[in-house]
Amino acid sequence: MLNKIRLLLKNPEFLTQYKNRKTRLAKILEISENDIEKYFDESAEFWKIIQDKLTEHGALERMSFERLQLLYSVVRAIKPKVMIETGVAGGSTSFLILSAMKKNGIGNLFSIDIDNPIWHDHSSFKVGWMVPNELRKNWKLTIGDSKKELPLLLESLKEIDIFFHDSDHSYEHMTFEFKTVYPFLSSTKTILADDINLNNSLNDFSQENKMWFEKFYGFGIARNLKKK
């Protein structure tokens, strides 16, 4: 809680974003605020599982509950058949996405990450160690650089419903990933990205492609809406 207070003091705009997040999220996902409330409540169950796993292994979580709520809600609302994420580390986001897909009764997740122990809490941890066996049948993990692996994966899948960036957060790399996936995205062109406060890549890309863009304290959603 103290860390969150410090974050709000350093970034006062986050408080406004927090207060109206349900309304803005409902609009960009084209669902009701009651649905958002339901998804937020559901995500708390999985957040507890994540925290229990981290405590058991003496590991740390680098993504906040608020951002994981957003990610979970997007997957529950859009119900993707195929989704790609870049950046896995321990696998808390992969676990959450796959849990949302299980609730939806549909969906496969394809993840890409570099197996670099420096990015993990302990050198003995493997990429995606938090994903339980019962969710792995709907998950394919590719170890490698997304600059090489992402184009190959997209060519094999032909079309995806959601893309989630959480790998190299440089402007150049993020822009590369957005440009690479955009032609393969299905009609609503949904792109998610974490740590967008580090640069303006998603904002710039969404403007160039006339996408609706929303920023939630470092977590970004850009998409084309079905409704006019």
Mean pLDDT value across residues 161-176 = 97
Mean pLDDT value across residues 70-92 = 96
Determine the angle formed by the axes of helices 171-181 and 201-208, rounding to 10 degrees.
40
Domains delineated in the chain? 2-223 (3.40.50.150)
The pLDDT of residue 228 is: 46
Residues 39, 48: Cα–Cα separation, whole Å:
15
pLDDT in tens, 170-204: 999 999 999 999 999 999 899 999 999 999 999 99
Residues 176, 193: Cα–Cα separation, whole Å:
13
158 backbone φψ class: left, alpha, beta (φ>0; ψ -120 to 50): left
Whether 207 and 217 have beta carbons less than 8 Å apart is answered as no
The pLDDT of residue 206 is: 97
CA distances from 151 to 7, 25, 29, 143, 161 (A): 36, 30, 27, 14, 16
CA distances from 116 to 71, 119, 122, 126, 187 (A): 24, 6, 11, 9, 35
Query: H-type helices in the chain, by residue range?
Result: 2-10, 13-19, 21-29, 33-57, 65-78, 92-104, 146-157, 171-181, 201-208
Residue 9 has pLDDT above 70, yes or no: no
Instruction: Report the residue count for the chain.
Output: 228
Pairing of strands 108-113, 160-165: unpaired
